[in-house]
């Protein structure tokens, strides 16, 4: 009988590069930068690593289609290395592979690495989705842009719950102001300048009602984790180590675009994956038990709606919680985007899931500096790849071993 992943796997090391326009390095150097920090944190020998997973999404402009670049770059000695990709959830997918491999008993130590090198394309956003996403693009997503699709999410959400234009814009602005304030405290963040509500509200419109500050950009960066069994972590003398409490994945199966039951104001995948994750982690009241979150804030409206899909804010009331400061770093109930989120830490697609886990890991060890949260118990990460009407959602929950 399946029992889930709770407390079966320990995270003993993590590393993350500075995200940004890293013109000075390639994907290989980014992997070395993240791995060097991770290995020093884990305090094991590289030869102890028995298997590895590499995540990169847009291989046409990055490190390529295979897993060989990770093996060659880190000089991994003829061990199995697997390359995975699952849109914006790719980093968490690499982590999931490493975690399940250790939990199965196949390996004692496994590595998960996520990397993306996007800025060298000379293009401001992601490359043409037609070339990267294949059949889905041409059959299901013709003429779709990410800002346009998520702008429709915003208008549908406002219409369903009868939220005024002013209320919605102010709530989305607060989401962005919060992320910029948190990112300013993070030396590894891509964007480190605070912004005001006025700046957000008066910025150029990208796709109504989303303005410039409602949209995240893309970055260069890498992040990684080394995982092992709880028994091995104890043998290594690790104390107060972090374990995986839950890992859940949910993918659209056609309901959103194929039927009329979905009204475009929320994410079916997030609602399902989070419910399963809470059950796996033994969490009965996420609003009271979750200490902090890193959500997939590709757009401010995505973060806002996700609060409801995670069953933390009541349906139609997330905008009120946002304006009340419930998700703020200081004085809030559950701080969100503690490190600046996709909006300000950055979004190297294949690395983002592991970057989120990196922040939760630092917080749980009390190593987050000026943005440290007091006595965190559970950290939740959420990735969303694709569009509101067809996507992949990944949820992870980590916390101290009990």
- Report the catalytic residues: 88, 347
- Backbone phi and psi for residue 129, each to the nearest 5 degrees, phi listed first: -65, -20
Q: How far apart are CA 375 and CA 312, in angstroms?
A: 20
3-state SS, residue 144: coil
Nearest by Cα to 400 from 378, 373, 369? 378
- Backbone phi and psi for residue 321, each to the nearest 5 degrees, phi listed first: -60, -40
| C-beta of residue 115 within 8 angstroms of C-beta of residue 62 | yes
| C-beta of residue 38 within 8 angstroms of C-beta of residue 115 | no
| C-beta of residue 242 within 8 angstroms of C-beta of residue 399 | yes
CA 229 remoteness from chain centre: 24
Query: β-strand 109-116 against 51-55: which pairing, if any?
Result: parallel
Nearest by Cα to 346 from 113, 118, 67? 118
Query: β-strand 242-251 against 390-400: which pairing, if any?
Result: antiparallel
Helix ranges, 207-310 (H)? 230-235, 255-258, 268-281, 286-289, 300-309
Residue 301: both structure tokens together: 């409206």
Contact residues for 362 (Cβ-Cβ < 8 A; gap 6+): 14, 368
């Amino acid at each position: 009988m399946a029992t889930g992943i709770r407390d079966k796997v320990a995270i003993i090391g993590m590393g993350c590069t500075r995200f940004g326009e890293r013109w000075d390095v390639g994907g290989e150097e980014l992997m070395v930068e993240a791995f060097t920090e991770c290995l020093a944190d884990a305090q094991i020998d590289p030869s102890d690593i028995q298997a590895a997973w590499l995540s990169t999404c847009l291989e046409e402009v990055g490190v390529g289609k295979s897993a060989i670049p990770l093996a060659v770059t880190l000089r991994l000695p003829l061990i199995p290395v697997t390359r995975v990709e699952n849109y914006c959830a790719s980093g968490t997918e690499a982590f999931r592979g490493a975690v399940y491999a250790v939990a199965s008993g196949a390996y004692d130590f496994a590595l998960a690495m996520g990397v993306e090198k996007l800025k060298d394309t000379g293009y401001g956003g992601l490359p043409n989705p037609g070339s990267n996403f294949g059949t889905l693009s041409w059959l299901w997503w013709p003429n779709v842009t990410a800002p346009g699709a998520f702008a429709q999410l915003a208008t549908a959400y406002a219409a369903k719950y009868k939220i005024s234009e002013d209320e919605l814009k102010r709530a989305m602005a607060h989401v962005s102001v919060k992320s910029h304030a948190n990112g300013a405290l993070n030396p590894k963040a891509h964007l480190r300048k605070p912004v005001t509500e006025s700046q957000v509200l008066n910025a150029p419109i990208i796709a109504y009602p989303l303005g410039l500050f409602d949209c995240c950009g893309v970055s260069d960066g890498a992040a990684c984790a080394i995982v092992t069994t709880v028994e091995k972590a104890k043998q290594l003398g690790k104390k107060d180590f972090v374990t995986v409490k839950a890992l859940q994945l949910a993918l659209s199966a056609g309901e959103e675009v194929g039927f009329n039951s979905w009204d475009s104001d929320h994410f079916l995948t997030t609602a399902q994956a989070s419910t399963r994750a809470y059950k796996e982690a033994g969490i009965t009241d996420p609003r009271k038990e979750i200490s902090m979150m890193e959500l997939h804030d590709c757009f401010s409206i995505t973060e806002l709606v996700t609060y409801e899909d995670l069953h933390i804010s009541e349906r139609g009331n997330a905008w009120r919680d946002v304006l009340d400061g419930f998700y703020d770093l200081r004085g809030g109930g559950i701080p969100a985007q503690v490190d600046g989120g996709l909006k300000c830490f950055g979004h190297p697609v294949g690395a983002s899931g592991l970057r989120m886990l990196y922040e939760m890991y630092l917080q749980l060890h009390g190593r987050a500096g000026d943005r440290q949260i007091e006595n965190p118990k559970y950290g939740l990460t959420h990735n969303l790849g694709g569009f509101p009407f067809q996507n992949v959602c990944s949820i992870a929950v980590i916390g101290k071993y009990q």
